[in-house]
Structure 1
Amino acid sequence: MNQEIMVTQDAVDYTQHWWPSHKPAFMSLTNGGPQVRYLRAGHGPALVLLHSLRTQLDLFQRVIPKLVGRFTVYAFDYPGFGWSEIVPGADYQEPAMRTHVVNFIERLDLRDVTLVGESLGATLALTAAAVLRDRVKQVVAFNPYDYLPGVERANLLASLVVKSVRAPVIGPAFAAMESRSTLAGILKGGLHDPRNLPPDFIDELLKSGKRPGYSQLARAMYRALPSYVSARQGYTRIDAPVTLVYGDRDWSRPVEREANVKLIRNAKTIVLNDAGHIVSLDKPDDFARFVLDTQSTLCPAV
């Protein structure tokens, strides 16, 4: 099945709040596969934005408007995330999630793609680039999520919640108990300045997270996080130039960052001052500037 389905009002309202002239659409990643919500905007070479754990394409609300003058920007909710279709019992290990990214790009037949990801999306950008090879022009990876315990380093609340959600007996109950205060508290742990978290974005995440089956997805995703660490070995197969951008307040440690540089042949590293794990919200101007600068480096003006 490769047809667009009717976009529900809930799947449209928030995105059109910050980008009124563009309406998300839905498509299947494979024949008969899950329907995913995606946004296309702008003109120029293809750029695909990959969002983080427990978010959706609206994470990039502050950077998409800054990029559409130079790129055709694509962003999508991974299957089950945001407003994309939830498939009961779906696999959220890294290989399965990487395949969704690959399918998205191949379904749209995108070439010379700039892959830009944040957190878990940065890890998927790197591993997908290793598979897509000559379809990828460059990768910009903001704070790759490829180490443990990951989000548990955000703050004490995040550590307690994630441990509880993953637990074998109490986990399902905790996953279903997500509240505005816990979600906001965890996300603020990813920001240098907690005031950079849009309150209405929290409301949107809670709304999409109330769908049937979402709590099971969240638990499966947290339990799958070790697979994203294992997937680092795939970085050695990346041919495209890679820019690794780390906030100086990111959860990763210097030794973990250095290990990534050693694995990626064509990598350079940038450290951004006064930035946490979620650069797209903390420092949207810098996020866009780094992406635009890498494009200018690869395609200098003549």
Structure 2
Amino acid sequence: MGFVAAAVAILAALLVLLVALVAYTAAVARRAQARVPPLGRFVDVDGARLHYVDRGRGPVVVLLHGLGGNLRNFHALIERLAPDHRVVALDRPGCGYSTTASAAQPDLFEQARIVAAFLRALDLRQPLVVGHSMGGALALALALDFPDHVGSLVLLSPASHEVREPPAPFKGLDVPSPVLRRVLAWTLATPLGQLAHERMLAAVFAPDAVTPGFDVEGGGALGARPGNFIAASADMVALPAALAAMAPRYPSLSLPVQVVFGRDDPICPLALHGLPLAAAVPGAALHLLDGGHMIPLTQADAVAALLRKAAAERREAATVRTPVANVVPA
């Protein structure tokens, strides 16, 4: 009886711990959503409900955020561009406040299909598409699979080529099993993430300092929600195979492409992503800035200037009409 009683006591203690972890995770998620509520509108497209902001008037710029992020990651660029551009930023499917009908996180190509449907729903015709980090990979997938939907690309610190080893700050997301991923999301991921939050941000922003107010203005607090862990883990696990499939297709891109990197980016190193991408895409321009991976925030003025120029070039190209040649009989 002693052994049975001990076993029952251990199981009861584990159950209490499990309930406590789930309750803590739910409470943290509620606090995060109270601090960082939705900013914009929602639209239902192709099996997804997408949260987006649509600001300003003028040349259209569409912003796609990176792994584990949300549209608030672009707040500094939105502020700088919206006075004379129409800036549309969306939470990628499964991220931020965007949801999908399926419980499974859509892969990169499925996300590209959803974003293409989003562009059609808002009647955004061949805009300048800007992608940061994994959002850069999504922008590339969109241009490859839906070339008539994209006018030009600006890729900020994009993930573009297969790398099997995840960046050090994201190794905790390397959970291939969907079941284990969900268990961790509702038990250990949030409390451990809270403990490592400041260290994680410092590693992602390195060598730059974390921008003030990132948790609220930049949406960083939403990373504590279990759904964010599930989506980010699924995205990261599936990304290498998607990039391996895409890389041989980069030479087929015929639209204007600009690649922008921080010289000291530790998350998507220039040598592994920026240089081979710029070499593979015909006519691609490579711009190097001081700093690391989070250049949409740490180098917002320089990035906004590049986007402003790219949008102007896109608008000028869209207005060009090929003249009809005068044919003189021989």
Q: TM-score, normalised by structure 2?
A: 0.74
The structure with more radius of gyration:
2
Distance 2:298 2:164 in 1: 18
Q: What is the count of residue pairs matched by the alignment?
A: 279
Please list every run of 5 or more consecutive structure 1 residues that lacks an aligned counterpart in the other structure.
1-9, 17-22
Which position in structure 2 is the counterpart of 1:7?
Answer: none
Q: Go from structure 1 to structure 2 and tell me whether the alpha carbon gap of 1:101 and 1:168 turns closer, same or farther (over 3 Å shift).
A: closer
Which position in structure 2 is the counterpart of 1:261?
Answer: 278
Distance 1:41 1:291 in 2: 16
1:193 is paired with a residue of what secondary structure? coil
Contact 1:15–1:24 (CA<8 Å) still a contact in 2?
no
1:119 Cα offset (Å): 0.3
Distance 1:278 1:26 in 2: 26
Please list every run of 5 or more consecutive structure 2 residues that lacks an aligned counterpart in the other structure.
1-31, 317-330
Q: TM-score, normalised by structure 1?
A: 0.80
Q: Does 1:283 align with 2:294?
A: no
1:145 Cα offset (Å): 1.1
What percent of counterpart residues are identical? 24
Which position in structure 2 is the counterpart of 1:130?
Answer: 144
Contact 1:44–1:72 (CA<8 Å) still a contact in 2?
yes
Distance 2:247 2:166 in 1: 19
Q: Given the alignment, which residue of 151, 156, 166 partners 1:142?
A: 156
Distance 1:72 1:219 in 2: 32
Which position in structure 1 is the counterpart of 2:251?
Answer: 236
2:215 is paired with a residue of what secondary structure? helix
Which position in structure 2 is the counterpart of 1:62?
Answer: 76
2:146 is paired with a residue of what secondary structure? helix
Decide which moves more: 289-298 or 58-67.
289-298
Q: Go from structure 1 to structure 2 and tell me whether the alpha carbon gap of 1:189 and 1:167 turns closer, same or farther (over 3 Å shift).
A: farther
Let me know the Cα RMSD of the aligned residues. Answer: 3.1
Distance 1:46 1:151 in 2: 36
Q: Deviations over 1:32-60 (max 9, x none)?
A: x2211110001012110000110110000
Q: Given the alignment, which residue of 158, 161, 179 partners 2:172?
A: 161
- Which residue identity is paired with 1:93? D
Distance 1:203 1:94 in 2: 23
Structure in which a larger fraction of residues adopt helix: 2
Q: Deviations over 1:104-157 (max 9, x none)?
A: 11221211300011001111112212233244221100111123548833x4xx
Q: How does 1:56-205 map to 2 (within 5 A)?
A: 56-149=70-163, 152-153=166-167, 155=168, 158=169, 160-163=171-174, 165-166=175-176, 171-176=181-186, 177-178=189-190, 179-191=193-205, 192-196=207-211, 198-201=213-216, 204-205=219-220
Which position in structure 1 is the counterpart of 2:40?
Answer: 24
